[in-house]
């Protein structure tokens, strides 16, 4: 009896139920179409390359010998902070090198308690004092804020040729990536000024920047991207890399370049 009653109830209301279901489906389809038309999706091109901090060389326009560094590798320098003292006069350079050799001899003689060695030590110390006369030095200063990396030749008491870097200052507040674009239609849309983002390897951190330059030669294309406002975590990561590597760089990084936006409707139903 109950079953028969339910059947009659369902038959009477079948049309109404179909209308309600139809209205619900139509509403869902309409909402989806509106969303698909107005929702914008990014069109992304990718570039792969090395993410690195820009390096500013510290050099001098004459041959120079470093008397002393007033900062150590890994130190964070402020702009115009004293970095090292140098001598450029050839006679002063030879005198400085002789002084350092005498200092090495003093270290050896001080370890030997033999009376003859002690007498020789007095003579060497007197010679060292004569060599320690005031030298006319030039102070080089940091060109910008950054982390100092001293060149190996500058640490070996060698004369650095004019224009050659004695040290490098790496500005970790900015990063740069020179990447190769893939062969796709999206790569053809890459242009100067477009926004770009990259995830720093080994960190859950994304840095944002812009395309600085696009270089096209024949079938190959590369892009220069610069990133500002680097987070403290990323700076600390690159500072750590700098302690163990010649430069603060990370290889094989993928950057995502936003070449435009299009509606979800066009992405689904438009021409591929």
Across the beta sheet with 65-69, what order do the strands follow?
65-69, 82-87, 138-141
Backbone angles phi, psi at 116, to 5 degrees: -60, -40
Q: What is the pLDDT along the chain (272 residues), one digit of tens a residue?
A: 456 666 666 666 666 767 666 666 766 665 655 554 555 566 788 888 888 888 899 999 999 988 888 888 888 888 999 999 888 888 777 877 777 776 666 666 566 666 565 566 566 566 656 655 567 889 999 998 888 888 887 766 778 899 999 999 998 888 898 888 876 667 778 888 889 988 887 777 888 899 888 888 777 788 889 998 788 888 888 888 877 777 767 767 888 888 776 645 455 555 54
Rounded CA separation 169/142 (Å): 7
CA distance 121 to 87: 27
* Residue showing tokens 């790569």: 187
What does the angle CA 196 – CA 198 – CA 204 come to, to the nearest 5 degrees? Answer: 140
pTM recorded for the entire structure: 0.65
Beta bridge partners of 168: 57, 149
Residue-level pLDDT at 140? 93
d(CA 222, CA 46): 11
CA dihedral sign of residues 89, 90, 94, 97: positive
Residue 184 Cα distances to 15, 214, 253, 263, 269, angstroms: 53, 15, 19, 20, 20
Q: What's the pLDDT at 29?
A: 61
Number of alpha helices (DSSP H) and beta strands (DSSP E) in the chain: 5, 13
Q: Count Cβ atoms below 10 Å from residue 239 Cβ, excluding itself.
A: 16
40-54+171-269: which CATH architecture? Beta Barrel (2.40)
Q: What is the C-alpha separation between 162 and 121, in angstroms, rounded?
A: 37
CA-closest candidate to residue 168, choices 240, 230, 77, 70? 77
Residue ranges of domains in the chain = 40-54+171-269, 56-170
For 235, residues 6+ apart whose C-beta sits below 8 A from its C-beta are: 172, 173
Q: pLDDT at position 215, please?
A: 84
């Amino acid at each position: 009896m109950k079953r028969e009653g339910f059947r009659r109830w369902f038959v009477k209301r079948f049309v109404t139920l179909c209308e309600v279901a139809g209205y619900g489906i139509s509403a869902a389809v309409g909402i989806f179409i509106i969303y698909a038309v107005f929702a914008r999706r990014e069109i992304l091109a990718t570039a792969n390359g090395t993410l690195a901090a820009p390096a500013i060389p510290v050099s001098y326009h004459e041959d120079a010998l470093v008397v002393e560094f007033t900062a150590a590798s890994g130190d964070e320098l402020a702009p115009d902070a004293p970095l090292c003292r140098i001598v450029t006069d050839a006679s002063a350079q030879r005198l400085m090198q002789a002084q350092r050799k005498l200092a090495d001899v003093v270290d050896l003689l001080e370890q030997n308690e033999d009376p003859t060695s002690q007498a020789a030590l007095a003579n060497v110390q007197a010679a060292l004092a004569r060599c320690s006369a005031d030298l006319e030095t030039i102070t080089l200063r940091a060109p910008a804020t950054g982390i100092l990396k001293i060149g190996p030749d500058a640490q070996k008491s060698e004369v650095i040729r004019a224009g050659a870097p004695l040290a490098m200052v790496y500005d970790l507040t900015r990063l740069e990536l020179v990447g190769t674009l893939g062969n796709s239609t999206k790569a053809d849309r890459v242009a100067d000024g477009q926004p770009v983002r990259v995830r720093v390897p080994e960190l859950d951190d994304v840095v944002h920047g812009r395309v600085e330059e696009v270089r096209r030669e024949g079938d190959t294309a590369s892009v220069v991207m610069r990133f500002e406002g680097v987070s403290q975590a990323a700076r600390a990561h690159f500072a750590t890399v700098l302690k163990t590597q010649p430069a603060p760089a990370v290889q094989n990084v993928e950057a995502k370049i936003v070449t435009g936006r299009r509606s979800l409707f066009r992405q689904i139903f438009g021409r591929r």
